[in-house]
Amino acid sequence: MSPPKDTKENRIQEALKANEADPGLSLRKLSQMFQIRKSTLHNRISQTSTPRKAAHESQQLLSKAEEVALTSWIKKWDNYGFPTRRRHVYQMVQSLLRDRDCSDQVGEHWLNRFLGRHPDLDSRVGRCLDKERALATDLDSFKKHFDRFYHVRCRFHVRDEDT
């Protein structure tokens, strides 16, 4: 397991712990030790500001519990071998909102922001094929590919059990 990243939020939390352990330390000293602006540290200690992740939770479309349910649903379907498509995620969010009798609509960029908050899901939510890629998947192109593969195998004397 890799050590936690040295993010600003981690430095702020360490500074707050240091302040609790030794209240005699000045804000100036703490801000120098942890490379944080003194005003940021003052606001956190006086609780006039909140961490960035928690600051806009009330403005998010789904509650924290709904986001947890959505992430577990995506992971469950991925474990079953069915990658979730973007439209399926949108439909599930609409269903969650309907269950809550909420008239809000899912915005165009909502899923990108959701995946930004949950980077572990980015590879589990599939995107549609480009039109060019979809058109390139015809029987003749597959046949040509496997013919070339067969000729290369014969040319280099590659046995079936080695492929």
Is the residue at 16 inside a domain? yes
Count of domains observed in the chain: 3
Q: Which pLDDT score is estimated for 151?
A: 87
Does this model's pTM top 0.85? no
119 and 138, same domain (yes or no): no
32 and 66, same domain (yes or no): no
Who contacts 53 (Cβ-Cβ below 8 Å, separation ≥6)?
Answer: 9, 117
Position 157 in a domain: yes
- Same domain? For 113 and 80 the reply is yes
Q: Over the stretch 85-131, which tens digit does the pLDDT of each residue have?
A: 888 999 999 998 888 888 888 888 888 888 888 888 877 787 666 66
Pick from 112, 13, 109: nearest CA to 54: 13
